Amino acid sequence: MSGLKRVLAFDIGASSGRAMLGSFDGIKISLEEIHRFSNDPVSVNGTLYWDVYRLFYEIRQGILIAAAKGEFESIGIDTWGVDFGLLRKDGSLVECPVHYRDARTKNCLPSAFKKIGRGEFYGITGIQFMELNTAFQLFSLVTGRKQIPNQTDTLLMMPDLFNFFLTGIQKTEYSIATTSQLLDAKSKTWSKRIFKALGIPLRFMTEIVPTGTVLGKLRKDLREELSCPAVSVIAVAGHDTQSAAVSVPSAQADFAFISCGTWSLIGTEIDSPLLDERTASLNVTNEGGFGGKITLLKNIVGLWLVQECRRQWKQEGRDLSFSNLADMALSAEPMVSFIDPDDGEFIPPGNMPLRIKDYCLRTGQRVPESIAEIMRCVYQSLALKHRWALGQIEICTGKRYPSIHIVGGGVQDSLLCQLTSNACGRPVVAGPVEATVIGNIAVQMITLGVIPDIAGARKIIADSNPLGVYSPEKGNVWDESYEGFLSVCGIT
């Protein structure tokens, strides 16, 4: 293929997916979006499902389009974390994968902690406790819907499920495995202790393979259907956060980053898991990444709040763009009211503006009434929660990071980038926007031997993408506001 190498990356998020061709000419990585599609969950009889068959149709369409454009060498898929498909022995799905926002895990943590104590649980996995995690989804099944586990032969996390559909091979990639809260962080194997304590059959689980493993070739029937050659399918960092972490354009070994989109993942990269009293008490997550590295993270609600507010107002006949909402936020009086973005009432979909008002009323604050006031409340609360989460990471590592890299879709939100710089009192380096898909492509290129290592990939990524820099504004009033935010929201 002369000097130009091309790979196909699928990045499937909680609301949309896309297929991107990545090309490397020896100097820069360039991207071409060839297919974009929505990811629309479906509620059936009170359960919220992912429409996995539709998603696989869209993956096939992406391969078809890519094949028509010329030669490429491999395919990699990343998705959101924690969710999974359950397969019968013949490889068919027992049911469509259930959405992490489904209510089946509500209030199940106390019951799980009666089976295995919180301290022991964290000491094994090093993962932040959230009801939506795979461990608790499965616990809700084995205690409440036993007919489903009884029909199950194999569990595959979402990117591994799509890889199975493409290759017929059932393996679990390391980064996505760590999101399950079922992995022993030190041994990097499934924890027999947790499976036994929660009553989850260990027989469901497949072999864990390192990030960057070549799984196999595209199935023959798909090659014929899609007019595609026998390209390799590579297990890239299947969790989108870890693909994004690969693309952080830092030349330094120690760096802080925020992978910002529907969720904000704030963290740093370390060599081995931190499983001490500090990380346990702060509920920090040790998530596996490329090269066996650990990403020490706090996972908080991100632009989901803005997305849901916009969706509600659109339903009411006010179709406002994200830039409209940011501009309106700037017009409102600052530091009047705050919310904790991670309060449980903001997790499900629904009327977000009403819930924000109710929260402010319940906490004795001035209630934001206009769209501008609600948006100001959301944006400044997100920025302050970024500061809080970064502080938690710095407590755990004993380091202060002089700047923050923001990668992912949140890079396009200049207001959030600026307010995060203001709140944290340090520069924000913003970019790349397409962090997840670029990290996906970089892992494929490293696996194929086109790029030597992750340090080389990060330099290439920095050279291939424009980066914005935001500096804290003068007259910063955020220190005083931060204390008020923590107090009114009851955050410790």
Active-site residue numbers? 240
Q: Where do runs of H (alpha helix) occur along 36-133?
A: 52-68, 109-115, 118-125
**CB burial readout 462-491, b (16+ within 10 A) else e:** bebbeeeebebeeeeebeebbeebbebbee
How many other C-beta atoms can be found within 10 angstroms of the C-beta atom of residue 363?
16
**Cα angle, residue 198 at apex, residues 193 and 200 outer, rounded to 5°:** 90
348 secondary structure, DSSP code:
S
**Radius of gyration for the alpha carbons in the chain, expressed in angstroms and rounded:** 22
CB 205 within 8 A of CB 170: no
261 secondary structure, DSSP code:
S
Nearest one of 78, 318, 311, 31 to 175, comparing CA atoms? 78
- For the chain, the straight-line distance linking the first and the last C-alpha, in angstroms and rounded, comes to 56
Paired strand residues for 213 = 235
CB 15 within 8 A of CB 307: yes
Parallel/antiparallel/unpaired status of strands 154-157 and 84-87: antiparallel
Helix (H) or strand (E) holding 423: helix 414-424
- Class of residue 386 by CB neighbours under 10 A (exposed 0-12, middle 13-18, buried 19+): buried
| DSSP-assigned states of every residue in 224-244 | HHHT----EEEE---BHHHHH
- Class of residue 103 by CB neighbours under 10 A (exposed 0-12, middle 13-18, buried 19+): middle
| DSSP-assigned states of every residue in 175-238 | HHHHTTT-EETTTTEE-HHHHHHHT--GGG---EE-TTEEEEEPPHHHHHHHT----EEEE---
Residue 233: both structure tokens together: 């399918």
